[in-house]
Structure 1
Amino acid sequence: MHFKPVVSLVGRTNVGKSTLFNRLTRSRAALVANISGLTRDRHYGEGRVGDFPFIVVDTGGFEPVATRGILVEMARQTAQAIAESDVVLFLVDGREGINAHDHEIARLLRKTGQRVLLAVNKAEGMRDHAALAQFHELGLGEPHPISAAHGDGVPALVDEALAALLAQARQSAVDAPADELAPDGEGAPVDHRIKLAIAGRPNVGKSTLINTLVGEERVIAYDLPGTTRDAIEIEFERGDRRYTLIDTAGLRRRGKVFETIEKFSVIKTLQAIEAANVVLLLIDAQDGISDQDAHIAGFATEAGRALVVGLNKWDAIDSEQREWVQREYDRKLRFLSFARVLHLSALKGQGVGPVLKAVEAAHAAAFAKLSTPKLTRVLQTAVEQQPPPRKGIFRPKMRYAHQGGQNPPRIIIHGNALDAVPDSYRRYLEGQFREAFKLAGTPLSVEFKSSHNPYLKDNNS
């Protein structure tokens, strides 16, 4: 399994971490203003060096010696990010110089044993300047002068941070088994091991469900939120089908869990979803549908992963509560209409039997091979029943369809004037294809490709 590496941005308040986060992720996802302490929780984004993706974590201002209030929680969030990182970028302020907080953070980082690069931000014009010499006091190696606001020195910093990880990723690709290297396009194998990520909020019963599925105490399960910390894999077979179960919050024996940090890991959940073929989203029916459930489901859908939803602890709620949960599901997770919903009790083993059948069906749909003749017949029938709406004097003309990829299935429709097809009609066609090919449990991408009109004047000619 190949996880995206994690790069965390650490430093005291107002040194430019969020500005650097926005530059690395090419986004405006983190709030940026000249006000200290804006970032309290961790923010996650995706950066990229060439075709090599990595996860960037923006942390709150770090106060290692905080003893009370919100600063304690911010310190916990940052400590968690450091523990999960492959490399830490420690930002200091080149204009203000070093202060006591910088020394305290540096001392903590040296104790963690993590790989740390020291970035001196707001260092416009300071390259090879004597002012950089003071930052050697932190004992973290050569200081790297950068300007997060203008981008100066940032590419070189990122290249150095990820150089070793890039080499490891390339070597892993060379050493990977042939079935893992198979592309997700047409011709990818359907019968390879199913990688199933069990995702959900803390204490919804993920580890209990794994133990029930495997039939033994393979994962330590406590009645305590966030017992598991690092993502782990469990190999097992059921009948003639091989599985790799991924407990997205992972395993740490209770005595080895650091009580000073948050134990539920968003990073590990995101990485496990990326590495899986199918995601089982486990929801605590007693608590209802939370925004975090919707965020996890949204990330899995955007990643193109097949999905099964399990409403756990179903036996612990009455009929009135069940109706309320169903209404909440329809309201907050209506974008998961393609996913099968199961009602179960992982602890008692009730309703667990259909779980793997639903996972296998979702996996089969994600890797389904869709023949061009049948796709085209379904398309033509759908157009006859409900033609696409006109745009001006033209009506889009759809000629044929073919499969453009698997996991998730991609259907490419060719024709003329297809740029004018509205999203509502795209969803109509998606429903027709789903019904015809029994594509339950997987996202489905329907794309349009218009033919070039040879009689249209080329303005560049």
Structure 2
Amino acid sequence: MLPVVAIVGRPNVGKSSLFNRLLGKRLAIESPVSGTTRDQISQRMELANQDILLIDTGGLSVGVNEDIESDVQTQANTAIHGADLILFVLDAKNDPTVDDFHAAELLRKSGKPCLMIANKCDDLSRLEQGAFNFYELGFGEPIAVSAIHGTGIDHLESEMDSNLTHLGFKRQEEEDRPQGALRITFIGRPNVGKSSLINSLFGKKKVIVSDIPGTTRDSIEVPFSYEEKSFVLVDTAGVRRRGKVEQGIEKYSVMRSFQAIEDSDIVILVLDGSDGVRAQDLHVCEFVLQQHKGMIIAVNKIDLFDEFEAERRQFENILRHRMAFTPWASVVFVSALERRNLFKLLDLSLEIGAERRRMVDEKELQFWLKDTVLKHIPAGSRGLRQAEVVSVFQKPGNFPCFIFKVHHPQFLHFSYKRYLENQLREKFGFSGTSVKMIFDNVSTRGPRGPKAKRGHTAKKAPRSQ
């Protein structure tokens, strides 16, 4: 097990900035708006002698009444109790507040090892002047850092490494590390039940759930094992129509959602069974196709159809009609409320993951192409030139990709490309995943050089007298 290091503190002291600085990349959304981070964000990180799981948490506050913010407090408290080492972050530009003392009291009661960090420490003289106030919190001398400028980060990492080594942790051997985890991203419009589905899968709160659209802001990763296979589930912020996306936090949340799609193996597009299929669902589906990912369409709130079988069939027919460009995608009716058909999503994901990695025998692929072209030869074009599919081979990679060698590919009609894909799927499968097909030009240059242009004849050499 990796040691868990949690970043804790009151809102707006720079926890997410420190999280991003330690990782060397922007994973958590940074904003001057207090309370931007809501869910736990976790990421693997390497120290000199340790591999750790670093967790960013929402801010700890006193007297929180709103449902979402109280859930943030619960998540932060859970992170404290599950951590092996805690980074207690303070704002060096201001004296400790009531929330700082409240957080310090929670940390003392937890009994966990803690490093106190004075962030935003661009001026060391200011820290020295206010050092007495920080000592009042009872965690010794603070470590001065600036997450924005990167000062003091090396010293902080050294202290983290030293403390974890003292606690008996050591780096995992290479063979003990989880390899090849299947990344599954839940995507969809706001408030369709993405977070509820993940929580129902585990039977406990892994991410915050609320009736208020836009509750999830960051892309939240949840690693786990199922059927002796490693998975990483990714919960994302709801994606609205481009014109309705507000500037600021929501804009960055949507960017994170699309980035999560790019990083995933399989995307589960979640629809609200009570709300039908919207244009935004089709837009997200199109992006999944562009990224060549596996896809499952999960229709949530199946319990609404229990007594209306005809309406359920009508919904599926409308869905298939509007998403006719993805006939290979499986449709699963699920209920987060009643935990129905949830594990079917994981079983299908395992099957799709295997399909995405499958390689077709090269000879069998050439025989297939020959038979397919003989059954239906590409239509001719005006003039003498005509597209001719010569050969095909499969490119190794994380998803099925086939490269066709074609004479004059510019004259190959899009309907013939679709015909080749349909025949390919009929013969070899690849259900549940998009297939990338590349049509490369075959050079027409022969051993005697290029053909002469029409209407021009070569000049005859003069006869010798």
TM range (shorter): 0.5 to 0.7
CA distance in structure 2 between the aligned counterparts of 1:7 and 1:306, rounded to whole angstroms: 33
One-letter code aligned to 2:428: F
Q: 1:370 aligns with which of 352, 360, 365?
A: 360
* CA-to-aligned-CA distance 1:10-66 (integer Å, 9 cap, x gap): 322332234334544623862423xx5251633747575499997765544321343
Aligned to 1:174: 175
Aligned to 2:62: 64
Specify the SS of the correspondent of 1:111: helix
Aligned to 2:451: none
- TM-superposed CA distance for 1:77, in Å, is 4.6
Aligned to 1:339: 329
Aligned to 2:396: 404
Superposition pairs for residues 57-456 of structure 1, below 5 Å? 58-67=56-65, 72-82=70-80, 87-114=85-112, 116-126=114-124, 130-131=128-129, 133-134=131-132, 135-140=134-139, 143-158=142-157, 161=160, 164=164, 170-171=171-172, 173-175=174-176, 201=194, 285=273, 308-309=296-297, 311=299, 312-313=302-303, 314-320=305-311, 323-324=314-315, 327=318, 338-343=328-333, 358=348, 361-373=351-363, 385=378, 401-405=393-397, 408-411=398-401, 413=403, 434=425, 437-442=428-433
- TM-superposed CA distance for 1:410, in Å, is 4.9
CA distance in structure 1 between the aligned counterparts of 2:340 and 2:87, rounded to whole angstroms: 47
CA distance in structure 2 between the aligned counterparts of 1:155 and 1:16, rounded to whole angstroms: 17
Classify 1:108/1:330 alpha carbon distance in 2 versus 1 (closer, same or farther; 3 Å): farther
* CA-to-aligned-CA distance 1:143-188 (integer Å, 9 cap, x gap): 32111111112355356547859x9795254347xxx76x79xxxx
Specify the SS of the correspondent of 2:175: helix
Kept in 2: contact 1:365–1:440 (CA 8 A): yes
CA distance in structure 1 between the aligned counterparts of 2:229 and 2:81, rounded to whole angstroms: 25
RMSD: 6.4
CA distance in structure 1 between the aligned counterparts of 2:9 and 2:81, rounded to whole angstroms: 15
CA distance in structure 2 between the aligned counterparts of 1:149 and 1:39, rounded to whole angstroms: 17
Aligned to 1:13: 11
The 10-residue stretch of structure 1 (121-130 or 48-57) with the greater mean CA deviation from structure 2: 48-57
CA distance in structure 2 between the aligned counterparts of 1:55 and 1:290, rounded to whole angstroms: 38
Specify the SS of the correspondent of 2:433: coil
Kept in 1: contact 2:16–2:37 (CA 8 A): no
One-letter code aligned to 1:403: K
One-letter code aligned to 2:91: D
CA distance in structure 1 between the aligned counterparts of 2:67 and 2:346, rounded to whole angstroms: 45
Specify the SS of the correspondent of 2:60: coil
Specify the SS of the correspondent of 1:138: coil
Kept in 1: contact 2:92–2:127 (CA 8 A): no
- TM-superposed CA distance for 1:123, in Å, is 1.2
Kept in 2: contact 1:198–1:246 (CA 8 A): no
Classify 1:356/1:18 alpha carbon distance in 2 versus 1 (closer, same or farther; 3 Å): closer
- TM-superposed CA distance for 1:99, in Å, is 2.9
Kept in 1: contact 2:93–2:126 (CA 8 A): no
Specify the SS of the correspondent of 1:171: coil
Specify the SS of the correspondent of 1:90: strand
* CA-to-aligned-CA distance 1:56-92 (integer Å, 9 cap, x gap): 6554432134356875454345335545656543220
One-letter code aligned to 1:409: F
Work out the number of aligned pairs and report it: 365
Kept in 2: contact 1:289–1:325 (CA 8 A): no
CA distance in structure 2 between the aligned counterparts of 1:75 and 1:106, rounded to whole angstroms: 14
CA distance in structure 2 between the aligned counterparts of 1:144 and 1:375, rounded to whole angstroms: 62
Kept in 2: contact 1:375–1:433 (CA 8 A): no
Structure 2: unaligned runs, 5 residues or longer: 187-192, 211-221, 235-260, 381-386, 442-465
Specify the SS of the correspondent of 1:319: helix
Classify 1:98/1:128 alpha carbon distance in 2 versus 1 (closer, same or farther; 3 Å): closer
CA distance in structure 2 between the aligned counterparts of 1:43 and 1:430, rounded to whole angstroms: 42
Kept in 2: contact 1:6–1:87 (CA 8 A): yes
One-letter code aligned to 1:143: P
CA distance in structure 2 between the aligned counterparts of 1:328 and 1:436, rounded to whole angstroms: 26
CA distance in structure 2 between the aligned counterparts of 1:247 and 1:28, rounded to whole angstroms: 16
Specify the SS of the correspondent of 2:396: strand
How much identity, in percent, do the aligned residues show? 27
- TM-superposed CA distance for 1:104, in Å, is 1.3
CA distance in structure 1 between the aligned counterparts of 2:267 and 2:43, rounded to whole angstroms: 20
CA distance in structure 2 between the aligned counterparts of 1:300 and 1:373, rounded to whole angstroms: 31
Structure 1: unaligned runs, 5 residues or longer: 185-194, 211-218, 236-242, 250-272, 388-394, 451-461
Classify 1:354/1:68 alpha carbon distance in 2 versus 1 (closer, same or farther; 3 Å): closer
Classify 1:447/1:141 alpha carbon distance in 2 versus 1 (closer, same or farther; 3 Å): farther
CA distance in structure 1 between the aligned counterparts of 2:405 and 2:328, rounded to whole angstroms: 27
Aligned to 1:39: 36
One-letter code aligned to 2:156: L
* CA-to-aligned-CA distance 1:202-234 (integer Å, 9 cap, x gap): 666986x99xxxxxxxx89xxxx89xxx98756
The 10-residue stretch of structure 1 (198-207 or 106-115) with the greater mean CA deviation from structure 2: 198-207
Specify the SS of the correspondent of 1:118: strand
